Amino acid sequence: MNQEQLTYFKNILENWLHELLHHADDSVGGLLVSESSMPDMLDRATFEAAHDFKLRILDRESILINKIRQSLTDIENGEYGICQICGGDISIERLKARPVAHQCIKCKTRMEAKERLTGT
């Protein structure tokens, strides 16, 4: 992968990380609202369901943030775009679709098929 392509992906990853961190700050602030002022059980249950949903989203975003940071580290270390399983190149098309990909499409497909068979 040439320097221009690495710069392209670095910019995408940095912008994505910035958006997620900004969104996470806003979301955490919204989670600090208390339901104790809701005397109605239905209102409280609705609030708690929405709260749980927000927590699941934040958890998924946290995982994605870690993947983005790892990809940025890989760029700095010269390992970005190299499959962690077979050591081959990850195609530019795959990286455009999933900039945090760490496996080439062949290895990822094989890994997912194995997961489906074993249920893990």
Contacts of 51 (CB under 8 A, 6+ apart): 31, 35
Chain centre to alpha carbon of residue 73? 15
At 39, the pLDDT band (50, 70, 90 cuts) reads confident
Summarize the chain as % helix, strand, coil (round to 5). Answer: 70, 0, 25
For residue 26, which of 5, 49, 46, 54 has the smallest C-alpha distance?
54
Range(s) within the chain of domains with CATH label 1.20.120.910: 1-80
**Can you name the CATH fold of 1-80?**
Four Helix Bundle (Hemerythrin (Met), subunit A) (1.20.120)
Tell me the pLDDT tens digit for each residue of 44-63. Answer: 888 889 888 988 988 999 99
**Tens digits of residue pLDDT in 78-116:** 999 999 999 999 999 999 999 999 999 999 999 999 999
Within 13 A of 94's CA, how many CA atoms are on the CB side? 17
pLDDT of 66 > 70? The answer is: yes
Confidence of residue 24 (pLDDT cuts 50, 70, 90): confident
